[in-house]
Structure 1
Amino acid sequence: MKLPDGPRISPALQLILTLFRPLETLEEYQKRYGDIFRSNLIGLGQFVVLSNPQAIQEIMTADPKVFESGSANQLLHPLVGDNSLLLLDRDRHQSQRRLLNPAFHGERMRAYGKLICDITEQVTNDWAVGKSFIARPTMQKISLRAILRAVFGIDEGERFEEIQRLLCEMLNTFDSPLKSSFLFVKALQKDLGAWSPWGKFVRKREQVDKLIYAEIQERRQQPNLNGEDILSLMMSARDEAGQPMTDRELRDELMTLLFAGHETTASALAWALYWIHKLPKVRDKLLQELASIGEDKDPSEITRLPYLTAVCQETLRIYPIALFTFSRILQAPFQVMGYDFEPGTRFSPCIYLTHHREDIYPQPKQFKPERFLERQFSPYEYLPFGGGNRRCLGMAFAMYEMKLVLATILSRWQLSLADNHPVRPIRRGVTTTPAGGVRMVVTGKVSQTSRVRSEAIAN
């Protein structure tokens, strides 16, 4: 079968469109070229974009040895380093996943429940009726403190205040489509001094590194490492030869967890607050469900609420934070949907286009949490955290955190959008985020009386 077609415009123009009009460009390409098409971005090369669940399943369920993924995602290297789980393949990738997996599942994850609720209360305590705030940076404070506690076992003290501040400043280097180009175009990654964009990023990264290495050295001097945090877990681990992780390996994995563990969740929470307060029916239904479990809400009970879960799922469907799963580079001849591909082909399953298929999600532009109560979707139809052996390790943790943060905020505060204008996604580095961060206004504090009234309505 003839290989799939794709846009004929220059790779430079394709990159510009990808940076500045990511959703519209993808939709135009799919409409013109179908579920499988080729694209070519300057500096990144050619890749095959897929949004057909059958094609995605064929790739995700293939022998992992047929693909390399780490080498296909080198644009993340400046953020996470050589030894990041995101950039590893084969045995090293599998062993690191096995090491980190327990930290984000089971009892260890559930132990973070009260902590997440407490952090949310602390961050929102200074809200006042009539005052406005921007949702995304506020949610970033919450998600960053939560992942710092999970990773280090502590989120207080001068060192951790500095890590929080510098990490946010470092990632804000890429907080617009134009600034994101520094990640996509290697030729722009030149340190021309402290005032140059890349130079500023490099210096922030060096400062974060210094703080992380200081923490590692301090831990190494302790007689035993019995902590429940992820750093203690990694420092206690030994490879097949009995060797511990090096400082550099620890640093790269910590940077990966800090970056991936809070940036995406902050944007997802901002989107959730936007949709909940843009659609009164969604907000009312959610408030009734929360009221049905009483005032002293147990975290495990909150996370089992079906409508709250559906709201989070629909938030991640309509505007997924990552538009693509991790790319995979073919290592041997392979067939997908009848097409024969040669080694060296790079596949990029598109989360956004898959989530907007009319045949799977009728009226895909509408925010309808009910669709997740009416049917289950396969992991090749709904994949906000990627899939296969590269699926996000923190998926369960992210969903757990989203539900608890939203429940805590909605149970304590009455909010509204500062204006009713539609908010569109814009690029922020390798992810997308709500343009403007979603400005909101505090309209009231939930009183005991209103809680009782809500419970009566719910019952």
Structure 2
Amino acid sequence: MLDIAKSSIPGPNGEPWDVLARFNEDTYGYLDELFAVYGTLFSLPLGNVGGLFLPHINDNGNWVFLTRPHQIKVMYESPDDVISGAEANKIFFGTDEASVAYIEGKAHRKRRQQLHPTFGGSRDYAELVLAELARQVETWPKGTPFRLFEKLQIMTSAIITEVVCGNMAEEDREFIRTTLLHTENAKNTGEEVLAADAGIRSLVARRIPDYRVWSAPESPDTLSLLLRLAEEGDVELTDEVIRDEVFSLLYTGFSTTANTLAWTFVRLLRDERVLGSVRKEIADNIGDGTITRDSVNTLPYLDAVLKEVLRLHPVTALNGVRLLKQDIELDGYQVPAGSILVHCAYLLQRSSEVFDAATEFQPERFLACSVDRYRWGAFGGGSRTCLGRGFSMNEMKLVVTKLLTDHELRAVGVGVPKAQLQGFFMAPIDGALVEMA
């Protein structure tokens, strides 16, 4: 049983590392237990989860979990002098770097604008995505169960490497593709993950001087873009910042997408009604035509399926974090400065107070209404909504459409598998086992 702590916001007592270990062991089970005991607003003494002491950031070690739309609205609509996304991210990820996730205000808005052409959804990557998918499918076994999630990670790591570092030498891109996989592998130790992180950053740092010399002016990859902006006079884009920005984009741009794709097939292959509706929509709108970025964006039911998957299976248990810089009052509680507010999409999006038939897989709920950003927050919210939302949604639509059009997959195992923490993300515990005919 959990002991109710005598504090302004209810929550369990305990040493931070003990609480964190319990949280990591059975994340969603623990959250369900906490919700049952403490209700819609509770705190956890998780302390400095990133493991890096940052003396210039004033935090009190309490993480306050928000599970209702009005709470999420406070988190995302409070002004910058009340909350800080950058400082919360630094505590969460254990870093003091200056890439887009870790800067505030005008600098943050400027960097997002600079990166928007790549990740905002306006650039067409359909040819790249479909070509890489075809290469990967050739390696998938037939008639033998395999872990689809791991195969999708290989694919998405290759895609994001081309998008971010596509003008690097092939041997460098191969190193990045394979090393990225070690940053989100449940079999690796913390030391191995950190070594993979350091290896990619080191490679990028070593290549930046030469890259400036021979990178083509029209190169569309993000590294070339950032170097051009630096050459044009953006003094904030130092070599160190560019290195960290490149790693951040690589890391956040591969396993998140693979995770949602894996859950999508977990759901589709176990629901004949929904699978049939997706297949029919593809046949009616694309048929034997070419699969393109434009054609997959004529598939509203597939779009609804992906949103429903993200509702039931958010990529992470901590969907957004903000550090309080001032005391606030929330639901009758005084929340002190130094607390970290957590957008808990799992408890929010599975609540019967927020969604009808909340635990049921019903994509139709997203067909007849617009998405309420405080009820459904798969990509975070406020000024820090996920930079790659458009890119990721396009990539997933292309992959699902192509796989369902050209291949026959079936689920292995009965029932929807449990979610397990892998790195920072919540993946199917069985790796989304499937078999391909």
User: Normalising by structure 1, what TM-score?
Assistant: 0.85
SS at match of 2:197: helix
Alignment of 1:55 onto 2:71 = yes
Q: Label 1:140 to 1:260 Cα distance change in 2 as closer, same or farther (>3 A).
A: same
| CA deviations over 1:349-394 (Å, ceiling 9, x no partner) | 2111111110222222221111112333310000011111221111
SS at match of 1:320: coil
Distance 2:192 2:78 in 1: 42
The equivalent position to 1:98 in structure 2, one of 101, 113, 121, is: 113
Contact 1:237 1:244 in 2 (8 A): no
- 2:287 is aligned to 294
Contact 1:148 1:154 in 2 (8 A): no
Q: Label 1:220 to 1:62 Cα distance change in 2 as closer, same or farther (>3 A).
A: same
Distance 2:268 2:191 in 1: 40
**Offset at residue 159 of structure 1 (A):** 1.6
Larger mean CA deviation between 7-16 and 297-306 belongs to 7-16
Contact 1:68 1:330 in 2 (8 A): yes
Distance 1:87 1:407 in 2: 35
Letter matched to residue 433 of structure 1: A
- 2:321 is aligned to 327
| CA deviations over 1:279-312 (Å, ceiling 9, x no partner) | 1111111111111121123321212301111111
SS at match of 1:208: helix
**Offset at residue 325 of structure 1 (A):** 2.7
Q: Label 1:164 to 1:338 Cα distance change in 2 as closer, same or farther (>3 A).
A: same
**Offset at residue 12 of structure 1 (A):** 4.2
Higher helix share: 1
Letter matched to residue 115 of structure 2: L
| CA deviations over 1:76-116 (Å, ceiling 9, x no partner) | 546x76122222233332222222122222532xx212221
Distance 2:405 2:166 in 1: 27
Alignment root-mean-square deviation, CA: 2.4
Alignment of 1:399 onto 2:414 = no
Letter matched to residue 419 of structure 2: P
Q: Label 1:410 to 1:215 Cα distance change in 2 as closer, same or farther (>3 A).
A: farther
Gaps of 5+ in 1: 180-196, 444-459
The equivalent position to 1:136 in structure 2, one of 146, 149, 159, is: 149
Distance 1:391 1:242 in 2: 24
The equivalent position to 1:234 in structure 2, one of 203, 222, 226, is: 226
The equivalent position to 1:377 in structure 2, one of 359, 371, 376, is: 371
Contact 1:325 1:387 in 2 (8 A): no
Gaps of 5+ in 2: 1-6, 50-60
Alignment of 1:350 onto 2:344 = yes
- 2:247 is aligned to 255
- 1:269 is aligned to 261
Larger mean CA deviation between 252-261 and 417-426 belongs to 417-426
Distance 2:215 2:33 in 1: 60
The equivalent position to 2:24 in structure 1, one of 19, 28, 49, is: 19
- 2:86 is aligned to 70
Matches within 5 A, 1:140-289: 140-154=153-167, 157-172=170-185, 175=186, 197-222=189-214, 225-238=217-230, 242-243=234-235, 245-289=237-281
- 1:112 is aligned to 125
SS at match of 1:374: coil
| CA deviations over 1:29-57 (Å, ceiling 9, x no partner) | 12222211122125442121111101111
User: Normalising by structure 2, what TM-score?
Assistant: 0.89
Distance 2:281 2:313 in 1: 24
- 2:58 is aligned to none
**Offset at residue 239 of structure 1 (A):** 9.9
| CA deviations over 1:321-373 (Å, ceiling 9, x no partner) | 11123321111233334434332222112111111110222222221111112
Distance 2:67 2:269 in 1: 30
| CA deviations over 1:245-302 (Å, ceiling 9, x no partner) | 2221111000100000011111111111111101111111111111112112332121
Letter matched to residue 230 of structure 1: T
Q: Label 1:89 to 1:419 Cα distance change in 2 as closer, same or farther (>3 A).
A: same
Q: Label 1:372 to 1:238 Cα distance change in 2 as closer, same or farther (>3 A).
A: same
Letter matched to residue 157 of structure 2: L
Contact 2:9 2:334 in 1 (8 A): no
Aligned residues: 418
Q: Label 1:359 to 1:77 Cα distance change in 2 as closer, same or farther (>3 A).
A: closer
Distance 2:21 2:93 in 1: 21
Q: Label 1:11 to 1:213 Cα distance change in 2 as closer, same or farther (>3 A).
A: closer
Contact 1:136 1:438 in 2 (8 A): yes
SS at match of 2:408: strand
